Each structure stands twice: as C-alpha cells, then as structure tokens.
C-alpha cells in the first residue's frame, strides 16, 4: 500500500519568513496530493491540493509543488503570519484507491 512520510515534525519560523514542509510517497501510481490544516482543537480543513498532471499550484500565500520523478511534494507558505500556526498534514491517493493515506503531520509555529 501507499506510504507517506512527512518532514519536519515540528517547524518554527519568524513572522514574515517562509515555511516549507515536505512529503514523500511510495506508490508511483498516486495522482492526488492534498494538504490539510488543523488548528488547535479544530477540524482538519483542506487548504490546497494538486494533481499529478501539474507541477505547481498557488493560492495567495500558499503553494504546492510536485516532483513525480522523485515522488515528493512540498507545501510552501510565504510571509507567514501567527494565524498560520497549526498542524499541517499531507496526503496521497491514486485513482483506484478509495481513501487517502496521510503523513504524520507538521506542527508549524509562527513566532511574532
């Protein structure tokens, strides 16, 4: 089955700096890669996703890049703000799969 590894497990950045979280996946047939944000005590929410037919996708201050050859994808947050502090999860699935496989999560802390 699919295996998704996520790094780092914790990340602290100064407000205004950029943050990068990386994930690798094992199944070359995976074609859908979402990122979820979970604020303390709240539900995970989808913030951005990418499919294997594109290499990069942006939405304001967040972007996701995908390297299919290396089987890794990354979340980039620019101009970080305190409200970006949360746990971020990456995930992967393939067309024939009925469920997502999640990474172990990254606790991002934005220091004022």
Partner 1 sequence: DGGITQSPKYLFRKEGQNVTLSCEQNLNHDAMYWYRQDPGQGLRLIYYSQIVNDFQKGDIAEGYSVSREKKESFPLTVTSAQKNPTAFYLCASSIVSGSGSPLHFGNGTRLTVT
Q: Which residues bind partner 1 (CB under 8 A)?
A: 1, 6, 9, 31-32, 34, 36, 42-46, 49, 51, 89, 93-100, 102-105
Query: Could you tell me if 34 and 6 are in contact, meaning their C-beta atoms sit under 8 angstroms apart?
Result: no
Q: How far is CA 89 from CA 33, 110, 112, in A?
A: 10, 17, 23
Between 1 and 112, whose beta carbon lies closer to partner 1?
A: 1
Considering Cα of 22, then 68, then 100, then 42, what sign does the dihedral take?
Answer: positive
Provide the CA 34 distance to its chain's centre, in angstroms: 7
Between 69 and 95, whose beta carbon lies closer to partner 1?
A: 95
- The CB-of-58 to partner 1 minimum distance in angstroms stands at 18
Between 16 and 51, whose beta carbon lies closer to partner 1?
A: 51
- The CB-of-74 to partner 1 minimum distance in angstroms stands at 17
- The CB-of-15 to partner 1 minimum distance in angstroms stands at 26
């Amino acid at each position: 089955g699919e295996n998704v590894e996520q790094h780092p497990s914790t990340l602290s950045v100064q407000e205004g700096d950029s943050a990068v979280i990386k994930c690798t996946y094992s199944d070359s047939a995976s074609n859908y890669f979402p990122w979820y944000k979970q604020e303390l005590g709240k539900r995970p929410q989808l913030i951005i996703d990418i499919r294997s037919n594109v290499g990069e996708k942006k939405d304001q201050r967040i972007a996701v890049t995908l390297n299919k050859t290396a089987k890794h994808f990354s979340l980039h947050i620019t101009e970080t703000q305190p409200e970006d502090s949360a746990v971020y999860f990456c995930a992967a699935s393939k067309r024939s799969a009925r469920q997502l496989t999640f990474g172990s999560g990254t606790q991002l802390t934005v220091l004022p």
